């Protein structure tokens, strides 16, 4: 490619990029409220939580990464709100280094106390332990083999909620959060196949295709990407950051499609000329 042609293309890229940026920016300042249809797997995800009897024990395996939060924060906030609204007892455990920090930021926003929740009685945070597949297996068999104390260093036996909770037998639902696409297999193998624990999953948009084959038989519902977060916000009636992201992505991607159209029109016109 000669340097002139290259320069011409670079100019085109820059026009497309600027157009994308402007179109992403506008809805953030001036929300448009464009429609978002709710997909089946998100409805099933929501209903799985909603249909739990009040006071069920929900374990949240939390493998979030702070750099990927834009993609997932809407999912998290909406899920925690649903859990608290339906008065479930929640056990959070972090499987990544960033997990506790992200959870901290999340809970500061959602404020469990505003739902009448008391730490230690209605929800508990178990801190961080690196849990690979073997770790998930160990946790499901015996929670205390992985965590002996909570995030704040209190022995699990001294926490009212944890007193009678030891293993998968005491857990009514697993919410499995992960960011490495193949990790869904760990939950399926170690919780679903091994113990038949009802499981729902939340992950990145690009991991959706790998989670789909397990739905709805092994995983009862799943959220993939920020769009799913928005859908959950809509279906649960809890507005959050997802709506703005959806709005912005609706518009922001349009220059990309126009570019694809343009390059093809140009190509076919060139071909006609050559003929």
Partner 1 sequence: MADILAGLVGTFFIVSVLSMLWKDNIVFRFGQACIIGASMAHYCFMNTQMVFTQGVIPLSQGKLTLVFPLLLGLLLYSRLNKDIAWLARYPTNFLIGVGSGLMIAGTLRGQIIDQVKQTIVDLFAGFASESPLDALNGVIILVGVITSLSFFIFTKEHKGAFGYITKIGRVFLMISLGANFAGELVWYLTQMIGRLMYILNQLIWPLLGMA
Partner 2 sequence: MILLALMIASSYYYWALTTDPEWKPFIRHIAALDAIKEGVGKSVEEDKPVHFAMGASGGQMYSTLVSMTLTALAFLRYVSGLCANYGARLIVHMPYQTESIPMIEGTCRDGYLAAGAPEMYRRDDMRYYGRGALSWTQGVTASYAEEGVGLNLSVGIFYSDCPISLEMAHIMGGMNVGGTGRWIMVYAFAMMCDYVFLGEEIYAAAAQVSENKMMLSGILIEEIGKFAILGMLVIGVILEFVGLNLVGVLNL
Partner 3 sequence: MATIQREIPKALLIISGVVMLLAFFLTFDIFTELKATLSSWTVLLSAISVWLGPVYAVNAQLMNYSRKKTTANLIYLIVPILFFVLFFGVALFSPGDISSASYQWLYIHIYQNVGATVYAVMFFTLASSAYRTMRMSSIEAVALAFGGVFSAMRSIPIFTYYFPWITGLGDWILLVPNVAGGRGAVIAAALGAIVVGIRTLAGKETTIQETS
CA 174/CA 219 separation, integer angstroms: 10
Among 227, 232, 235, 244, binds partner 3 (CB under 8 A): 227
Least spacing, CB of residue 66 vs partner 3, in Å: 5
Angle between helices 225-236 and 69-85 (to 10 degrees): 30
Considering only residues 250 to 269 of the shown chain, the ones binding partner 1 according to CB under 8 A are: 252-253, 256
Write out the two tokens for 102.
């992200």
For the purposes of burial, counting CB atoms within 10 Å of the CB of 62, is it exposed (0-12), middle (13-18) or buried (19 or more)?
Answer: buried
Least spacing, CB of residue 157 vs partner 3, in Å: 25
Among 171, 204, 211, 228, binds partner 1 (CB under 8 A): 204
The site string for partner 3 over 99-118 (x = CB under 8 A, - otherwise) reads: --x-----------------
Least spacing, CB of residue 56 vs partner 3, in Å: 31
Contact indicator for 76, 107 with CB cutoff of 8 Å: no
Q: What letter would DSSP give residue 196?
A: -
Considering only residues 21 to 50 of the shown chain, the ones binding partner 1 according to CB under 8 A are: 21, 24-25, 28-29
**Residue 109: strand, helix, or coil:** helix
Write out the two tokens for 150.
């909570």
**101 vs 138, which CB is nearer to partner 3?**
101
Q: What letter would DSSP give residue 38?
A: P
CA 190/CA 196 separation, integer angstroms: 9
Among 51, 142, 263, 269, binds partner 3 (CB under 8 A): 263
| List of residues 6+ apart from 188 with CB closer than 8 A | 199, 214, 218, 219
The torsion angle over the Cα atoms of residues 108, 120, 74 and 196, rounded to 10 degrees, is 170
**146 vs 248, which CB is nearer to partner 1?**
248
Among 112, 135, 205, 239, binds partner 1 (CB under 8 A): 205
Among 7, 9, 17, 169, binds partner 1 (CB under 8 A): 17
CA 164/CA 135 separation, integer angstroms: 21
130: left (phi over 0), alpha (psi -120 to 50) or beta: beta
Q: Is residue 269 close enough to count as binding partner 3 by CB under 8 A?
A: no
Residue 114 interface partner, choices partner 2, partner 3, partner 1, none, CB cut-off 5-8 Å depending on type: none
Spatial CA neighbour of 137 closest among 107, 165, 168? 168
Interacting stretch for partner 1, rule CB under 8 A, among 100-108, 147-155, 170-178, 202-210? 202-210
Contact residues for partner 3, defined by CB under 8 A: 9, 12-13, 16-17, 20, 34-37, 39, 66-70, 101, 205, 208-209, 212-213, 225, 227, 230, 246, 249-250, 253, 255-257, 259-260, 262-264, 267
Contact residues for partner 1, defined by CB under 8 A: 14, 17, 20-21, 24-25, 28-29, 68-71, 204-206, 208-209, 225-227, 241, 244-245, 248-249, 252-253, 256
């Amino acid at each position: 490619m000669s340097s002139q042609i290259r320069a011409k293309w670079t100019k085109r890229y820059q026009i497309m990029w600027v157009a994308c940026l402007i179109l992403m920016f506008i809805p953030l300042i001036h929300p448009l409220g464009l429609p978002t249809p709710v997909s089946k797997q998100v409805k099933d995800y929501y209903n799985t939580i909603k249909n739990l009897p009040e006071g069920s024990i929900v374990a949240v395996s939390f493998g979030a990464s702070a750099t990927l939060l834009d993609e997932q924060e809407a999912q998290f906030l909406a899920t925690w709100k649903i859990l608290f609204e339906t008065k479930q007892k929640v056990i959070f455990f972090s499987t990544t280094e960033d997990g506790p920090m992200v959870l901290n930021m999340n809970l500061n926003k959602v404020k469990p106390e505003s739902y009448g929740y008391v730490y230690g009685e209605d929800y508990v945070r178990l801190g961080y332990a690196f849990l690979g597949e073997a770790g998930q297996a160990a946790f499901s068999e015996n929670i205390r083999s992985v965590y002996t104390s909570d995030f704040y260093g209190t022995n699990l036996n001294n926490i009212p909620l944890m007193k009678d909770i030891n293993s998968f037998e005491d857990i009514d639902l697993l919410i499995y959060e992960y960011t490495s696409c193949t990790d869904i297999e760990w939950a399926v193998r170690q919780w679903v196949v091994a113990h038949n624990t009802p499981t729902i999953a939340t992950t990145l948009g690009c991991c959706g295709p790998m989670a789909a084959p397990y739905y709805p038989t092994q995983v009862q519902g799943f959220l993939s990407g920020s769009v799913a977060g928005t859908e959950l916000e809509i279906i649960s009636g809890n507005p959050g950051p997802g709506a703005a992201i959806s709005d912005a992505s609706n518009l922001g991607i349009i220059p990309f499609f126009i570019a694809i159209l343009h390059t093809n029109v140009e190509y076919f016109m060139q071909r006609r000329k050559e003929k």
